[in-house]
Structure 1
Amino acid sequence: MQSRPTTTTPPVATEFNGKDRNAFLFGWNPQAELWNGRLAMIGFLAYLLWDLAGYSVLRDVLHLVSYTH
């Protein structure tokens, strides 16, 4: 009977600077770009929920522009 080799999960991936991808590091580094993207996604979701609740900044601006012309 032939035994199969055991599989192990790969280690946590690190960026090219050798640090953890999720580390909150200050300065110009790959981790800052990941955090920037994550916070931007949270901001877009927050605005979408705010807009669905009836408080739309864009709609208010368009109403103001349409009243002035």
Structure 2
Amino acid sequence: MQDTQKMTATAIEDRNAWKFGFTPQAELWNGRFAMLGFVAALATEYLTGGGTLHFLGLM
């Protein structure tokens, strides 16, 4: 019976909640923002014909 209670408590936890520190939720948000940044860099390269650093004027 205790295994069922532990599983239910874990299933109720909101994995999209904002929590600070090294938590599974923080790692999920970190991965999501990294994917968004990568897609933005690819779109910049595709639309401008140059790299992201060239677009920002750093090279």
Whether TM-score is above 0.5 comes out as yes
Deviation at 1:52, TM superposition (A): 0.4
In structure 2, the gaps of 5 or more residues are 1-7
Matched, 1:47 2:41: yes
Q: TM-score, normalised by structure 2?
A: 0.62
Matched with 1:67 is none
Report sequence identity in percent: 48
- The structure where helix makes up a greater share of residues is 2
* Corresponding residue pairs, total: 46
Q: Runs of at least 4 residues of structure 1 off by over 2 A?
A: none
User: 1:24 maps to which residue?
Assistant: 18
Structure 1 residues not aligned, in runs of 5+: 1-10, 65-69
- Using CA pairs under 8 Å that are at least 6 residues apart, name the structure with larger relative contact order, 1 or 2: 2
1: CA distance between counterparts of 2:15 and 2:31? 13
Q: Which residue of 1 aligns with 2:27?
A: 33
Per-residue deviation, 1:21: 0.4
| Aligned residue in 1 for 2:3 | none
